[in-house]
Structure 1
Amino acid sequence: MTSTTITAARLLGAFDPGTPEWTAARSGLVVTATEAAVLVGLSPWRSPLSLWHDKVGTVPAEEVVPTAAMRWGTRLEPVIATAYAEAHPELLVHETGTWANTARDWQRATPDRIITPAHGGPPMLLEIKTSRYGDGWGEAGTDQIPIAYRCQVVWQLDTLGLDTAHVVVLVAGQDYREYTVIRDPAEATFLRDKAAAFLDSVRAGTPPPLDGHPATYRTVQRLPGAVEDRVANIAPDVAETYRQALMAFRRAEETKRAASVAVLSAMGTARRAEAAGRKVATRSTRDDGSTRALIPHPQLITEDLAA
């Protein structure tokens, strides 16, 4: 497959992550596919405010230290791509690079692979993921993928002017699943308009509203400027909101502690707890066998968030 197969975007190049060329293709007043979910507040990793300060340059981008899951996800990507190709001999799987939309140069995307029918037909995208627990992933064969990934895929399709993306996830290192996402013009327009408005706010120097995202808190902490030994008179409503949040947090801690006591008591000497087939928690222990901590199963928390 050549880049001429895709006419709505131009191939900037195939860059290794972390290289100056890779950074340059993603820097400045552009929006990449991984940033699409950030702009609408649906990214678990970044917030609109943290991205805004990154684009403006007031706060250096946070250094991302790859976790074990991230490192293994990168290592497994070609393995999963090969498995997909073996499962679909009717398709050709192509490595690709970073693309820019021809009408909107600021709209960028770096899909994992591009696939084409062996006997002719329009190109499609292949996105490859790994997941430890499968939280947010629906039944295989549907389009039910985590919302942040859906934003990413819709953005990629809109950037390259394609209609179909196949998404593959390997759950827990053994559960292989395939999903299909069809480009929704309304979703694509919504994300595109949000991105254009965001870039306008960067040019105008108008930051997004504050929110409770962890990335927003880290960004505000890292804003430049030496601390002055003085008293700031803040608005009473700001102080009262802070006080109420502290009280609510204390009550939530007490409620959680009581619930943890109840679970530990119900577990007896068991290491893991389930309820009606749903995984609840795991007990970590000290050398003497006593309980160190009760660790909730991640999916117990993400079930409501994904609903």
Structure 2
Amino acid sequence: MKVKSIIPRDEAHWHELRAQHIGGSEVAALFGLSSFMTPFELWHIKKGNIEAPNLDDNERVFWGNVLEPAIAKGIAQLEGFQIRKVHRYLSSEDVPGMGASLDYQIINHQRGTAPFEIKAVDYLEHRDWPEENGVKTPPMKYALQVQSQIALLNSKWGCLGALVSGNTPEKFNFDRHNGVIAKLSGGIEDFWYSISTGKEPEPDFNKDYRTIEQLYGPDANSFEDRTGDDQLLGLCAAYVGAREDEKAASKSKEALRGKIIKRIGKKARVKVDQFTIARGAQFRIIEKAQSGEDGFESYELPSLPDTSKTFLNKPKDLGQIASIF
């Protein structure tokens, strides 16, 4: 893949570059696999119809940024990696609108250079990671992010480093998967084509109602009589009915909780088929996803023969050697 390396002039320029590309943290949203953004929301953000979420006050984002250098340094030290902070933005010339802002880059490795993505993961998030043979594995959104970065670095492999619960380091290596990269490239091309033609994706009304509220903010003092609009009438009636059902469901949920606790007695954790009942600070019932559910097996990442090419437009400098440490 032919890649252009861009030095952002300032933070505003970096945000401008991000607005023009589908970055590594956004590729999962193209396939409905993102936990924080739907395809509908992503489309309207890139179209310029709504503002991207402001995460300045998000505690997870704040602490992730603060801890990122320490996590990178610690895992690199444990693994014997030599790394450098990446200060440039990578933009594909073969797939216009595909880009990435890497955390770090592994250098002088026997397998060649590789992206080094860093995550600070709390207990609640890690608890919901998928499992393979009893071992926790990263969610597909992280795997796709690393594959996107591998493509833009023309690397043979990539690495995800995570610090779980503040004291448990985990490292996951990903071989280059050309099938996944082709899928990502095609999805990005289709996305920008839909932007140019104005064809928005269908909203998921269970998740996109806040985005819809932003898109259709009310005009002050506007009024319209829609008497005779049977579809709108039906929606209003359904909304009022759902509101009443919500009250009844809350009472039913409390009753069921009491029955479950009486059934299991004082046990803190109970497994019954695909369900796990957990009682601690909170009462939770966790249902294990069936094979392929939630898309976890849609993009398997097995080892494949290396078909990567040399970096055709390699930047002279992708950052200083871990100078921030």
Letter in 1 for 2:284: P
Secondary structure in structure 2 of the residue aligned to 1:34: coil
Aligned residue for 2:14?
22
Deviations 1:101-156 (A, max 9, x none): 232341101121110235x652111111121122315479x893111111211111
Deviations 1:185-225 (A, max 9, x none): 111111221111111111111110121452x1111011145
CA contact (8 A) 2:114 2:153 kept: no
1:259 CA drift (Å): 2.8
Aligned residue for 1:296?
284
Residue 242 to residue 130, structure 1, CA distance change in 2 (3 Å): farther
The yes-or-no answer on 1:109 pairing with 2:100 is: yes
CA contact (8 A) 1:8 1:102 kept: yes
Aligned residue for 1:55?
46
1:81 pairs with one of 52, 72, 88? 72
CA contact (8 A) 1:143 1:179 kept: no
Aligned residue for 1:175?
168
1:82 CA drift (Å): 0.9
Residue 273 to residue 245, structure 1, CA distance change in 2 (3 Å): farther
Secondary structure in structure 2 of the residue aligned to 1:222: helix
Aligned-partner Cα distance in 2 for 1:94–1:237: 60
Secondary structure in structure 2 of the residue aligned to 1:262: helix
Identity of aligned residues (%): 21
Letter in 1 for 2:162: V
* Larger RCO (alpha carbons 8 Å, 6+ apart): 2
Q: State how 1:237-256 maps to structure 2 within 5 Å.
A: 239=235, 242=238, 246=242, 253-256=250-253
Aligned-partner Cα distance in 2 for 1:115–1:251: 55
CA contact (8 A) 1:38 1:51 kept: yes
Residue 102 to residue 244, structure 1, CA distance change in 2 (3 Å): same
Deviations 1:69-110 (A, max 9, x none): 222221111111111221133x31011132112323411011
Aligned residue for 1:9?
3
1:239 CA drift (Å): 3.8
1:253 CA drift (Å): 4.0
**Which stretches in structure 1 are left out of the alignment for 5+ residues?**
1-6, 284-293
Residue 10 to residue 52, structure 1, CA distance change in 2 (3 Å): same
Q: State how 1:108-257 maps to structure 2 within 5 Å.
A: 108-117=99-108, 121-133=111-123, 134=126, 135-136=128-129, 138=131, 144-214=137-207, 216-224=208-216, 225-226=218-219, 228-231=223-226, 233=229, 235=231, 239=235, 242=238, 246=242, 253-257=250-254
Aligned-partner Cα distance in 2 for 1:143–1:181: 15
CA contact (8 A) 1:47 1:213 kept: no
CA contact (8 A) 1:73 1:129 kept: yes
**Which stretches in structure 2 are left out of the alignment for 5+ residues?**
297-325
CA contact (8 A) 1:15 1:98 kept: no
1:157 CA drift (Å): 1.4
TM-score normalised by the chain length of structure 2: 0.73
Residue 139 to residue 167, structure 1, CA distance change in 2 (3 Å): farther
Aligned-partner Cα distance in 1 for 2:287–2:258: 18
Residue 173 to residue 143, structure 1, CA distance change in 2 (3 Å): closer
Secondary structure in structure 1 of the residue aligned to 2:173: strand
Deviations 1:204-262 (A, max 9, x none): 11110121452x11110111452534327253897499569938766754553223223
Aligned residue for 1:3?
none
Aligned residue for 2:279?
281
Letter in 2 for 1:221: E
CA contact (8 A) 1:85 1:93 kept: yes
CA contact (8 A) 2:111 2:156 kept: no
TM-score normalised by the chain length of structure 1: 0.77
Letter in 1 for 2:211: T
Secondary structure in structure 2 of the residue aligned to 1:210: coil
Give RMSD over aligned pairs.
Answer: 3.5
Secondary structure in structure 2 of the residue aligned to 1:93: strand
Residue 198 to residue 149, structure 1, CA distance change in 2 (3 Å): same
Aligned-partner Cα distance in 2 for 1:245–1:107: 45
Letter in 2 for 1:10: K
Aligned-partner Cα distance in 1 for 2:209–2:99: 27
The yes-or-no answer on 1:95 pairing with 2:85 is: yes
Secondary structure in structure 2 of the residue aligned to 1:62: coil
